[in-house]
Every structure is written in C-alpha cells, then in structure tokens.
Amino acid sequence: MTYKTFLTSFLITLGCVFPIQAKETPSPSDIQLGAVKAAVVELNNGNTLYSKHSDWQTPIASLTKLMTALVVVESGQNMDEWVMIPKPDRETRKNAYSRMRVGSTLKRKDLLRLALMSSENLAAYTLAHSYPGGVDAFVSAMNQKAQSLGMQDSRFVDASGLSSRNLSTAADLVKLVEAVAKHDLIREYSTTPRYTAYFRKPRYSLGYGNTNRLVHRTSWDIELSKTGYITEAGRCLIMVSKVDGKDVAIVLLDAFGKLTPLGDAGRVKRWLTTGDGGKVAGAALRYEQTKSREYPHQYDKVSSF
C-alpha cells in the first residue's frame, strides 16, 4: 500500500469515526438590528435566514432606483446615447439638489451609474424623462415590472424615490434584488466606489462617490448596493454580499441615523459567520422600538395596482 493510499484510507476512516458536521444556520434570536423592517436571504436557494416585519409596507426612498435601473436596462434603449438633462419636475426640484446643469448632455449609461452609486436624483428623473412616452410611461413600466415579479405590496410613483408614496416591503424588495442581481451592469454600477462623469454642451466634469461607505472597505465583498433616505422612510440599505462563499441579500428599512444600517449590515455578517449578532446602540434601539409600536396605527397597506 502506497503512502497516498494509506493516507486516503485513514482520512476516510477518521471521517466515519468523527463525522464532519455541517455548519448550523445561526439562530435569528441571536441577532439584534436597528432597522424596523428587515430581511436576509440566500440568493442561490431563496432560503430566508432572518426576517423582521418583512411584510410591513413602507416608503422606500432611493431604493426605488433599483427598479428604475431594472426598467432602463431591460428597455433596450441605447446606453451610449447622449441624453439631455431636463428641467427637474416639482418633486425633484423641491426635495433634491443636483450639480448637473440643465440642458447639458450625458450618456444614458453614465446617468444610470450616477443614479445607482451616488443616488443622483436628477439623473434618475432624466432616465424616466427620456423613456419612450416620458415619465408617466416609465412609472407605468415600473409598476408593471413589480407586478410581474410578484411584488404585490409595492407601488411606484416616481423614478427617484423622493416621493413618500413609493411603497414596498422588505419581502417584496428581496424579489427586486433577485431580479436586478441578474444584470451585471446594475451590479457594477451600484458598487462603483468613485466615478467622474464627463458632460457635453457645455463640456464639464463632475466627480461622484458611492453613498454606501462599505463598498470602499476591503473586508466586504459587495456585489450590489443601494442606500436610501427621506424623512418618511428613515435610513435604508440594500446589499448583496459574499458571506462564507454565499451570495446573501440584506434588506434594511427604516433605521435611525446614517450609521445604523451600516452597523446592522456588520451585525448580519458577524452573525452569519460567528453566530454573534451584537447589540444596537441605545438611540437606534429606542427608535426601532418606538416605530414598531407606532406602525400599525400609521400605515394601511395600499394596493399596488
């Protein structure tokens, strides 16, 4: 018997005597999150690892832009076309500042990148404005896509997410994540750390950074990202990240302060790898508890279609 044959036989025998145990899924009771609504799902098999109030309908702010991106990418429009920046609509003009100059032009693919990575609201509005049939047709396409994905508790009224009437649930947003994650372009654009956009008519350039600071960290392997915030929605975050070699979708809705969604993401990662879900800071925890008590009296589900 050769040494190699002996070693193989020994290892097989050892495995029988001391069977290797599969890693157990950590218990949801061992993790605490500051987000009022949340869902954590393995994308490869759809296994729900964690869920909290995932059926509660709520404003989703700029997470809306993931649906905007999906409609644009699947529309067949020329991504290299130069698109004119229009005068913003009332919602965009009222609630968001943009450095882009009205009347200048930028390639559609760059508008999409800025809308995803930097949450540029006028870029999102421009994408809808340049869609065949204009903004109304674009919003209709968003709702039709939501229906086709089975997002029955979702409704969209604009492309940027500035309106509090853009509504969804954590469970519905997992379905959206599953759809957008199939598009390499959306994955790439949403996780771009920094980008310089070059405009024409007139010529100028603007630098942008990703609104999710975790994409800059080498300790994270993030494959999809989108942040969101308006007062009615609280702080929101969607990510797909490799955790223990698995693609894990993390949906966090309505958290207190800029740091809470980032902390929640870290707690999810640590919980999945070590079983330790950590603790939430006092102010964030009080916010979560107050909003959880108030929710049933604030929102009644609105039919999407």
- At 244-302, the pLDDT tens digits run 999 999 999 999 999 999 999 999 999 999 999 999 999 999 999 999 998 876 655 55
What residues in the chain have per-residue pLDDT under 50? 3-4, 6-8, 10-18, 20-22, 303-305
Model pLDDT, residue 23:
56
Q: Looking at 119, 130, 160, 168, which residue is catalytic?
A: 119
User: pTM of this prediction?
Assistant: 0.90
Q: Looking at 37, 52, 54, 65, which residue is catalytic?
A: 65
Domains of the chain as residue ranges with CATH? 27-293 (3.40.710.10)
Rg, Å, the chain Cα set: 22
Model pLDDT, residue 304:
46
E strands present in 58-126 = 58-59, 82-84, 105-107
Q: Looking at 54, 62, 163, 168, which residue is catalytic?
A: 62
Three-class DSSP category at 24: coil
Return d(Cα 242, Cα 269) in angstroms, integer.
Answer: 9
Asked if 219 is an active-site residue, the reply is: no
Closest to 141 in 3D by CA, of 152, 130, 156: 156
Asked if 225 is an active-site residue, the reply is: no
Closest to 27 in 3D by CA, of 250, 277, 246: 277
CB-based contacts of 226: which residues, under 8 Å, 6+ apart? 62, 63, 65, 66, 116, 119, 190, 212, 237, 238, 239
Model pLDDT, residue 168:
98
Q: Which residues lie across from 252 on neighbouring strands? A: 38, 237
Asked if residues 226 and 66 have their Cβ atoms less than 8 Å apart, the reply is yes
Return d(Cα 51, Cα 4) in angstroms, integer.
Answer: 48
Model pLDDT, residue 17:
46
Asked if 163 is an active-site residue, the reply is: no
Model pLDDT, residue 20:
41
